[in-house]
Amino acid sequence: MVLGATTKSANSGSPAAYHSAFHELRFDAGRPCLDLVATAHPVERIGDVRLLRAWLAGAGLVPQGTPLPGADVTWLAAFRELRGQIAQLVRAELAGRPADAALARVNALAAAAPPAPRAVRHPDGTLTRALHGSPGRTALLAAVARDAVELLTDPVARSLLRQCAGDNCAIVYLDTSRGRRRRWCSSEVCGNRERVARHRRRAALARA
């Protein structure tokens, strides 16, 4: 359930502060729930409330200008807990084994009502998306949990789940590439590392 654009701020901080936080994050896994799982790799990427706010906006869970007055350290703990449950569930699905405790927790969080969107008229005449009020932690957790439920219960989407082939990369993504030949979570990150490593191996063999 994507509620907003992926490059808009969801907090009242300065644009510079937001964009600094935004560029520490990645949104290339293909779904908000998978993008949340990716925030644990290779280091903690939502280490404070500022980064969590940036992630919520970047993942499209809140549209531009949405205030989050209740966001605090309890939100951090809740989103990290959900992240761990989704990670267990997705990786168990890839391995063909059950993860019943994680499934129960994700289902429980998904049961709450997600943020309610509404269309508002922009000054230029176009309709833009906003929310009915400021979403709380429970509603935003529900949006991410529902995204995980929708992903894992959709046979087509589930069949596109891939584990990144990069060395020591734990990121799982949706392969929507032509021919379904995507190997890395990001061509610019893991793909580039692989190309550099391949070049170094060839250079070493040439020198031998």
What local confidence, expressed as pLDDT, does residue 138 receive? 98
How far apart are alpha carbons 106 and 207 in whole angstroms?
Answer: 54
The pLDDT of residue 63 is 84
The predicted structure's pLDDT at residue 5: 41
Asked whether the beta carbons of 148 and 86 are under 8 A apart, the reply is: yes
SS (H, E, C) the chain: CCCCCCCCCCCCCCHHHHHHHHCCCCCCCCCHHHHHHHCCCCCCCCCCHHHHHHHHHHCCCCCCCCCCCCCCHHHHHHHHHHHHHHHHHHHHHHHCCCCHHHHHHHHHHHCCCCCCEEEEECCCCCEEEEECCCCCHHHHHHHHHHHHHHHHCCHHHHCCEEECCCCCCCCEEECCCHHHCCCCCCHHHHHHHHHHHHHHHHHHHHHC
Which pLDDT score is estimated for 67?
A: 85
- Retrieve residue 56's tokens: 């919520």
Residue pair 47/55 in contact (Cβ under 8 Å)? The answer is no
- Closest to 52 (Cα-Cα) out of 29, 15, 84, 78: 78
CA distance linking residue 15 with residue 50, whole number of Å:
12
Query: What is the predicted pLDDT for the residue at 13?
Result: 45
pLDDT at 194: 65
State the pLDDT at residue 2.
57
Q: In sequence order, what are the residues at sequence separation of 6 or more whose Cβ sits closer than 8 angstroms to the Cβ of residue 7?
A: 22, 57, 58
- Number of other residues whose CB lies within 10 A of the CB of residue 81: 13
**Measured CA angle at 143 (ends 124, 132), to 5 deg:** 45
Q: What is the pLDDT of residue 150?
A: 98
Q: Which amino acid is at 109?
A: L
**Confidence (pLDDT) at 119:** 94
Residues of the chain whose pLDDT is less than 70?
1-23, 64-65, 187, 189, 191-208
Can you say how many angstroms the Cα of residue 57 is from the centroid of all Cα atoms in its chain?
A: 10
What pLDDT does residue 11 have? Answer: 39
The confidence score (pLDDT) of residue 12 equals: 38
